[in-house]
Amino acid sequence: MALYDELPAFKAAYDLLLDIFRFSATLTREYKYTLGEKLKNETLEMLMLVYRANSTKEKHDTIQKAREQIEMVRLLLRVLKDLNQISVNSFVRVNQQVENVSKQLTGWQKSQK
């Protein structure tokens, strides 16, 4: 097992990614291949940024990019909720995960100063 697997930010982001893949399968066809794919890609990119930040000495900029990605994920989830593509319960659960990832990234970034 690689060291990044132990990183709390990586674990939180990975769990979020799994949940997004699970619920995106239930999106209607109109949104599955547009917003759903964008959401999955943004989350994957954020996960890769967490990996990159962990494997470099200068982490601040990469963590900042990951924080920007998680905000895009948050926005896309809100759009899906407003389009009635995700239930309120699912939205709340996934949004809690987004908030967890965001807090992990913020704390990690602060610790690098």
Domain boundaries, the chain: 3-111
CA 16-23-70 angle, 5° bins: 35
- Asked whether residue 59 carries a pLDDT value surpassing 80, the answer given is yes
Contact predicate 76/38, CB 8 Å: yes
Residue 2's pLDDT band (cuts 50, 70, 90): low
CATH C-level class of 3-111: mainly alpha
* Model pTM score: 0.90
